[in-house]
Amino acid sequence: MTEAIHKRKSEHISITLNEDVTGTNISTGLERVAFIHNALPEVDFESIQLNSTFVDTVCRTPFLISSMTGGAAFAETINRNLAIAAEQQGWVLALGSMRALIESEQHRESFQVRKYAPNIPIIANLGAVQLNYGFGIDECRRIIEMSEADALVLHLNSIQEVIQPNGNTNFKSLLQKIEILCKSLSIPVGVKEVGWGIDGETAKKLCEVGVQFIDVAGAGGTSWSQVEKFRTVDPIKRKAAETFSGWGIPTADSILGVRKHIGEARTVIGSGGMYTGLDAAKAIALGADLVGFGKSILQEATQTVEDVLKVMQTIELELKMAMFGIGVSSVDGLQQTDRIRYK
Ligand SMILES: Cc1cc2nc3c(=O)[nH]c(=O)nc-3n(C[C@H](O)[C@H](O)[C@H](O)COP(=O)(O)O)c2cc1C
């Protein structure tokens, strides 16, 4: 079973890098968002501040590396490059699913990146559905301890589990188990999707049981039915996966809905199909506190720290340019701007 997980993780990386895994006939919705340029910004570009808050921690930037990997041979290089770069730039780092860590010691190192990133928030990750398949509070405590994480995010990936060979598809009674977990762990628990978005009502229910942050991981970027389509050898599942390549809540709609329903008290992470700092500016203006990047930073993560840094620095410059362009000097100011049109 564990070997199967390691193989799956390696295939996810190579398929994401080499095949077209973006959802079809769907977009993030960010192309419907436009800023109204301010020719007289009355702001000194050099004074623009990017700091934001993840739960209770002030971060130097409003950026996060979305949960991607760990548990596969190549994942160690990827996570090391991401961790070193994230520490340098002050990005939050989310690790990939740590289920394999409980089942075997192999590739444990790939999740142990605290030594490269002593100061930034690190987020541990587990599929919420695992709470119905033998994982409980003790297993969560172990993955948090082994990765020295500051928070735990549970991912919701119902559609992927149907297509994935030997997927875990019993999603019953998870809200109640998430509530118990939130009450038992001493660190914040968040919930994310993997590319189909979270609606406002669901986010509200999750926050009511103690979830501290919601990462929308909306549609328009990586589609996990597309990824699994390339892995499955079952022609029936392959056909069904194709049918679902346009499924999900566009990222922009998901951010708007979640923020509207959960109010200001909880952290909202806008992610799913983010490529540029201008995408990030739009997500923040729609209500996100932080913005997550997944596939768009993966190729560089397989290369060098310097390559990752270049992507991060470009994104930061683009965000600052968007803020300058509308005349705001803080992430707070960007969240409150009325210089935005949503078509
Ligand atoms: C190679 C790869 C592996 C991923 N593995 C995980 C994972 O283990 N756990 C998880 O919650 N999300 C995982 N994701 C999903 C991402 O965190 C993200 O939500 C999704 O890819 C949408 O963002 P994107 O369009 O920026 O890629 C993975 C994404 C990629 C590209």
Sign of the dihedral defined by the CA atoms of residues 177, 269, 228, 244, in that order? positive
C-beta atoms surrounding 272 within 10 Å = 37
Asked if residue 110 has its Cβ within 6 Å of ligand 1, the reply is: no
Length of the chain: 343
Cα 169 to middle of ligand 1, angstroms: 19
Q: Are 241 and 226 in contact (CB under 8 A)?
A: yes
Cα–Cα distance measured from residue 276 to residue 297, given in angstroms and rounded to the nearest whole number: 10
The DSSP line for 220-283 is TSB-HHHHHHHH---HHHHHHHHHTTT-S-BHHHHHHHHHHHH-SSSEEEEESS--SHHHHHHH
Cα–Cα distance measured from residue 239 to residue 203, given in angstroms and rounded to the nearest whole number: 31
Ligand 1 atom with minimal separation from the 153 CA: 11
Of 317, 327, 335, nearest in space to 38 by CA: 327
pLDDT tens figures, 309-320: 999 999 999 999
Q: Pocket of ligand 1, candidates 295, 298, 299: which has the most ligand atoms within 8 Å of its Cβ, to mutate?
A: 295
Asked if residue 164 has its Cβ within 6 Å of ligand 1, the reply is: no
Ligand 1 atom with minimal separation from the 294 CA: 26
Q: Which CATH architecture has domain 2-342?
A: Alpha-Beta Barrel (3.20)
Q: How high does pLDDT run on average in the chain?
A: 95
CA-based Rg of the chain, rounded to a whole angstrom? 19
Q: Is residue 255 predicted with pLDDT exceeding 80?
A: yes
Asked if residue 30 has its Cβ within 6 Å of ligand 1, the reply is: no
The contacts of residue 258 (CB under 8 Å, 6+ apart) are: 198, 199, 200, 203, 214, 216, 268, 287
pLDDT tens figures, 184-225: 999 999 999 999 999 999 999 999 999 999 999 999 999 999
Model-level pTM? 0.97
Beta bridge pairs of residue 152: 124, 189
Cα 295 to middle of ligand 1, angstroms: 7
Q: Are 339 and 36 in contact (CB under 8 A)?
A: yes
Of 190, 116, 107, nearest in space to 150 by CA: 190
136: left (phi over 0), alpha (psi -120 to 50) or beta: beta
Cα 155 to middle of ligand 1, angstroms: 9
Q: Pocket of ligand 1, candidates 17, 65, 194, 279: which has the most ligand atoms within 8 Å of its Cβ, to mutate?
A: 194
Asked if residue 124 has its Cβ within 6 Å of ligand 1, the reply is: no
pLDDT tens figures, 79-99: 999 999 999 999 999 999 999
The contacts of residue 332 (CB under 8 Å, 6+ apart) are: none
